[in-house]
Structure 1
Amino acid sequence: MNTATLITGAGGAIGSAVSCSLAAEGEVLFLHYHRSRDSAERVKKQCEERGSEVHLFEADLSAAGGASSLAAQLPGEVGRIVYTSGSASYGLFQDIEETEMLELANLHLLNAMWLVHELLPAMISRKEGTIVIISSIWGERGAALETAYSAMKGGINTFVKALAKETAPSGIRVNAVAPGMVDSPMMQEFTEDEQRKLAEDVPAGRFAAPCEIAEAVRFLMEPSAAYVNGHILDVNGAW
């Protein structure tokens, strides 16, 4: 088996777009999902139609130990990681429950870090590897009513920048993509009127399509981006 690309959250809007963007003849894709098996199965079929060898894996990355559970299932070496797993969380910080905060920390930060920790030694041994993590505009700027979420994304941004400094001598690149508003199921938390007003606040006048985020990920994974390392790539319509 060739070195594989692992994509977490492959059943989600961004994860499925990334999976299809990277699918090609001869590529080996390890696609992770948790609750969205039907969606992951559809993505698997689409990727196979493009010539990829595809394997599906289930793990709960909002739970402690989720990354270890996922890593233990993988049947071969991983050369590229795209971590897209995430969920929305809205409300006053004073109202958040400890269980929700811990789930956010596991999903957006701790399991992302530990998954890389589990797979990094093989990359270092081969002297090559590419890691891209989906962050958020709020990880750089912070958002009222999304304080805990913003904190986790800010943490992942710092992780990306710090790890890149450690791994660059081993030929490994670590970057993140920080989207603004994306046209995805997460936006269903808002009414149509709220979505319209949010889109009006974006200078581009619209939300990003998931495929636009996927193309940013694809760029960071290409050999032509070999000198891009430790970077947080904003994709936000000038918001």
Structure 2
Amino acid sequence: MEKTAIVTGASRGIGAAAALALAAQGCRVAVCCRTRRDSAESVAARIRAAGGTAAVFCADVSDEAAVRTMFAQVEQTLGPADILVNNAGVAQQKLFTDITAAEWDAMFGVCVKGAFHCCQAALPHMIRQKWGRIINISSMWGQVGASCEVHYSAAKAALIGFTKALAKEEGPSGITVNCVAPGVVETDMMAVFSPEDKAALAEETPLCRLGAPEDVAAAVAFLASDAGAFFTGQVLAPNGGFVV
């Protein structure tokens, strides 16, 4: 049976790769973004060109009303969400003492509150049908912390705790809730790093390379598939051995 997958932050990077991977598994894909509609439309066009079904939806996931509206639009267009990938996020490097309260709130608003809103919108249907897949995109920094990224690390750590608790609560309803915690992945978020910095990070990684969005998307696709049916409350870490 064809399933509907919602992927937030899907206009580029890991989200785009996850949308393409889920479409390759036969899912109808809601390619969701906040502002980069043109990029999201390009992802949807690639899915349709390969014979799949996709549509673009825009919402600020930190806004509960916007999320509710988006989920209603997805249901009308593609059907209710069977699979939810909470990938929307922001990144910022800053000394802890320079982080403002507004920046802290914005980080948690997208990374944590966004996942909260999307899960609350998706779960009623999943519970009714006794089947669902929720996959939250965290980070290795949510596991071990990163200097000059305290708010980012804290938000991504919160997602891991969120995942483990929700997995216990929703397991009896046939819903799995898992987390993917990528390592250093070559996306637009890496644009602030110089080639020398990227080379140093690759050298620090036991597999001697940076990750690709497709490396993370493979973990998402596995957790969404029948092969991942007995995984819940887990953190899969495609990080090349950077964190072990």
Pair in the same fold by TM > 0.5:
yes
**What is the CA distance between 1:73 and its match in structure 2?**
3.0
Q: Is the 1:63–1:103 Cα contact (8 Å) retained in structure 2?
A: no
Equivalent residue, structure 1, for 2:193: 190
Q: Is the 1:27–1:51 Cα contact (8 Å) retained in structure 2?
A: no
Helix, strand or coil: the match of 2:60? coil
TM-score (norm: length of structure 1):
0.94
In structure 2, runs of 5+ residues without a counterpart are none
Equivalent residue, structure 1, for 2:118: 115
Distance (whole Å) between structure 2 residues aligned to residue 195 and residue 69 of structure 1? 40
Equivalent residue, structure 1, for 2:33: 33
Helix, strand or coil: the match of 1:6? strand
Which structure 2 residues correspond to residues 43-54 of structure 1 after superposition, within 5 A? Answer: 43-54=43-54
Distance (whole Å) between structure 2 residues aligned to residue 178 and residue 126 of structure 1? 28
Helix, strand or coil: the match of 1:132? strand
Distance 1:228 1:168, change over 3 A: same
Equivalent residue, structure 2, for 1:236: 239
1:41-74 CA-to-partner distances (Å, cap 9, x unmatched) read: 1111111122222121111235565433433432
Distance (whole Å) between structure 2 residues aligned to residue 51 and residue 106 of structure 1? 35
Distance (whole Å) between structure 2 residues aligned to residue 65 and residue 106 of structure 1? 14
Equivalent residue, structure 2, for 1:167: 170
Aligned length: 239
Q: Which amino acid in the other structure matches residue 207 of structure 1?
A: L
Equivalent residue, structure 2, for 1:78: 81
TM-score (norm: length of structure 2):
0.93
Equivalent residue, structure 2, for 1:141: 144
Equivalent residue, structure 1, for 2:11: 11
Q: Is the 2:61–2:117 Cα contact (8 Å) retained in structure 1?
A: no
Distance (whole Å) between structure 2 residues aligned to residue 68 and residue 207 of structure 1? 36
Choose the corresponding residue for 2:207, options 197, 204, 216: 204
Helix, strand or coil: the match of 1:23? helix
Are 1:213 and 2:216 matched, yes or no? yes
Distance (whole Å) between structure 1 residues aligned to residue 69 and residue 148 of structure 2? 32
- Identical positions, percent: 38
Q: Which amino acid in the other structure matches residue 134 of structure 1?
A: I
Q: Is the 1:26–1:51 Cα contact (8 Å) retained in structure 2?
A: no
Distance (whole Å) between structure 2 residues aligned to residue 65 and residue 89 of structure 1? 26
Distance (whole Å) between structure 1 residues aligned to residue 181 and residue 54 of structure 2? 27
1:77-133 CA-to-partner distances (Å, cap 9, x unmatched) read: 110001111121101111011211111111110111121011101100100000111
Distance 1:226 1:99, change over 3 A: same
Equivalent residue, structure 2, for 1:101: 104
Q: Is the 1:25–1:50 Cα contact (8 Å) retained in structure 2?
A: no
In structure 1, runs of 5+ residues without a counterpart are none
Q: Which amino acid in the other structure matches residue 88 of structure 2?
A: S
Helix, strand or coil: the match of 1:35? coil
Equivalent residue, structure 2, for 1:153: 156
Distance 1:36 1:22, change over 3 A: same
Distance (whole Å) between structure 1 residues aligned to residue 205 and residue 120 of structure 2? 36
Equivalent residue, structure 2, for 1:60: 60
Helix, strand or coil: the match of 2:115? helix
Distance (whole Å) between structure 1 residues aligned to residue 96 and residue 64 of structure 2? 22
Distance (whole Å) between structure 2 residues aligned to residue 59 and residue 223 of structure 1? 29
Distance (whole Å) between structure 2 residues aligned to residue 180 and residue 25 of structure 1? 24
